[in-house]
Structure 1
Amino acid sequence: MKIRKLILAIALIVMGVCSAQAQCKFKNTAFKSGEFLTYNLYFNWKFVWVKVGNASMSTVESRYHGKSAYRSSLITRTSESADKFFSMRDTLLCYNTTELEPLYFRKGARESDRYTVDEAFYSYPNGKVHVKQHRQKKDGTHVWKTHTPEACTFDMISIFLRARSFNPEGWKKGNRISFPITDGVKIINAVLEYKGKTTIKADNGHKYRCLQLSYIERENHKEKEIVRFFVTDDENHVPVRLDMFLKFGSAKAFLVGAKGVKGKMTSQVK
């Protein structure tokens, strides 16, 4: 048992999941301001994958409360033809310090006639983590909660920005990293699991050698995979494909274009 705990502690340190006593900082090696990624969005309709819209992910250097920060967003939009059956208008936004500390997160989700908003406001008084969370429910009512977790806490976008700078050298399939993550007005346990390497063909016609990272949420002793990222096996770790496991079914996003990427995408294969 002591050996298992020691291995877990080492893994958490190596992978950058910090304790609340330390500053929740991490060196960005994967992206630069001005990166803009575009995707085609597909939905599984009666066992057939149908193109239903598009998605985009961007990161720029901005300001948050007067200080330099990264502003990153993920936007998904179904087309007018797909809206007749099911409309999806999701916008995920986050601000992180230039050292990848989470500052703010917002998710606005419109799925058919259902619209909800989740927010998380992060601060670090005296080296402690403080998270204020807000949820606007589909009926328009508002709920606020405050948490002071013992470990650095993330949201879906900020943990992915950090994961892009992980060094996968020496990783083995099945490696898992646990961390707290915001969910509405709760903080739950989540996991990033390394699924190994594979080759993915993007919608730009190119193939890429990719790392697979599975984002899993754990609640009430149950696990649920939310998103699986396929990122380029190079220093950029650009998402080439995203598999999204939604309440109403499954969706996929395939890379169409990548502008403002930090380095050469050496993972491209013939």
Structure 2
Amino acid sequence: MKKFLIGIGILSVLSTGFIALNAYRRVPNNSFGPGEHIEYRVHYGFLNAAEAIVDVSPTLYKVNDRPCYRVNVDGRTVGAFDLVTRVRDTWRSYIDTSAILPQKFYTNLQENSYRKEENITFNHEANTVKAEERTEKDVFNVPDNVHDLISGYYFLRTIDFNKISSGQVIEVPAFYDDTVYNMKVRYRGKDVVKTKQGKINVIKLNPVLPPGNAMFKQEESIRIFVSDDTNKVPVKVEVDLWIGSMVMDLKRNEGLKQPLKFY
């Protein structure tokens, strides 16, 4: 009997350790997958200002012993804007396929004379983040299920907005530029917007901006219109600046879970 109790104790300890090592959450995802390709065009008034391409690699990558989507976001200025403010930015996130959490995050920013290149590694078991080029002293403590800028957006795409009340704020912890903060997005219900491809049913979202921001007019100066379907991809984004406004329109897409339904 004593040996039996000791055996049960050992199994309990081992199983507890096993659970701790495999404590990743599981997030159902029917909204995106490998091979998704989306292109956007940004207008400032009547001028073409920039272009952005969002790509989910057709193949999966293993990072930190976890299968991951590799998502690239490339942004660049065009036309007259490129002569005044030259931007060539790349962000890359390796997103855990089952937990929808980042394992690595890469940035390469080229904005006029400004340059920044950095690789960030996430350790979700220890709740830490570290830049690969730095020393061990530069390890940051982060909350559970912390995101980078890209993975936070992809996590929002997995949310069932039919179960959320209009006006409700969704908060997602995120880490960027050595800082932990809460990405806050307010759900504003559903609507129909007109695009160059036609009208489409959308979900309305407002990223909640901190007060006193030098660029934006008010707390909810950014309005994101997301397709009200399985994909939940932005089809239009409107931004109110202190001087003028910007609009980002969907230009082209392929590899979505289902075709977008314009009418």
| TM-score, structure 2 as length reference | 0.76
Which residue of structure 2 aligns with residue 102 of structure 1?
A: 102
Bigger CA radius of gyration: 2
Asked whether the equivalents of residues 75 and 87 of structure 2 are also in contact (C-alpha less than 8 Å), the reply is yes
Which residue of structure 2 aligns with residue 214 of structure 1?
A: 206
* 1:101 partner amino acid: L
Q: Relative to 1, partners in 2 of residues 1:35 and 1:259: Cα closer, same or farther, differing over 3 Å?
A: same
Q: Relative to 1, partners in 2 of residues 1:81 and 1:187: Cα closer, same or farther, differing over 3 Å?
A: same
Which residue of structure 2 aligns with residue 150 of structure 1?
A: 143
Q: Relative to 1, partners in 2 of residues 1:226 and 1:74: Cα closer, same or farther, differing over 3 Å?
A: farther
* 2:120 partner amino acid: A
**Structure 1 portions without partners, runs of 5+:** 1-20, 137-141
Which residue of structure 1 aligns with residue 49 of structure 2?
A: 52
Could you list the per-position Cα deviations for residues 186-242 of structure 1 after superposition, in whole angstroms to 9, with x for gaps in the alignment?
112221211222322334x2221111223335599xx96685432100111121123
Q: Relative to 1, partners in 2 of residues 1:89 and 1:171: Cα closer, same or farther, differing over 3 Å?
A: same
Which residue of structure 2 aligns with residue 232 of structure 1?
A: 227
Q: Relative to 1, partners in 2 of residues 1:115 and 1:23: Cα closer, same or farther, differing over 3 Å?
A: same
Asked whether the equivalents of residues 149 and 176 of structure 2 are also in contact (C-alpha less than 8 Å), the reply is no
Asked whether the equivalents of residues 124 and 145 of structure 2 are also in contact (C-alpha less than 8 Å), the reply is no
Q: Relative to 1, partners in 2 of residues 1:77 and 1:150: Cα closer, same or farther, differing over 3 Å?
A: closer
| TM-score, structure 1 as length reference | 0.74
Structure 1 Cα separation of the partners of residues 137 and 243 of structure 2? 27
Which residue of structure 2 aligns with residue 257 of structure 1?
A: 252
Q: Percent identical across equivalent pairs? A: 22
Root-mean-square deviation over aligned CA pairs: 3.3
Structure 2 Cα separation of the partners of residues 238 and 225 of structure 1? 20
Greater CA drift, 211-220 or 149-158:
211-220
Could you list the per-position Cα deviations for residues 158-194 of structure 1 after superposition, in whole angstroms to 9, with x for gaps in the alignment?
0111111111113222111223211201112221211
Q: Kindly indicate whether residue 74 of structure 2 is the aligned counterpart of residue 79 of structure 1.
A: no
* 1:208 partner amino acid: I
Asked whether the equivalents of residues 135 and 184 of structure 1 are also in contact (C-alpha less than 8 Å), the reply is no
Runs of 4+ more than 6 Å apart: 245-249
Q: How far apart are residue 31 of structure 1 and its match?
A: 1.0
Asked whether the equivalents of residues 243 and 251 of structure 1 are also in contact (C-alpha less than 8 Å), the reply is yes
Q: Relative to 1, partners in 2 of residues 1:244 and 1:111: Cα closer, same or farther, differing over 3 Å?
A: farther
Structure 1 Cα separation of the partners of residues 76 and 190 of structure 2? 29
Q: Relative to 1, partners in 2 of residues 1:71 and 1:245: Cα closer, same or farther, differing over 3 Å?
A: farther
**Corresponding residue pairs, total:** 235
Q: Kindly indicate whether residue 189 of structure 2 is the aligned counterpart of residue 196 of structure 1.
A: yes
* 1:163 partner amino acid: L
Q: How far apart are residue 143 of structure 1 and its match?
A: 11
SS, match of residue 169 in structure 1: helix
Structure 2 Cα separation of the partners of residues 41 and 67 of structure 1? 35
Structure 2 Cα separation of the partners of residues 120 and 36 of structure 1? 24
Asked whether the equivalents of residues 101 and 146 of structure 2 are also in contact (C-alpha less than 8 Å), the reply is no
SS, match of residue 152 in structure 2: helix
Which residue of structure 1 aligns with residue 114 of structure 2?
A: 114
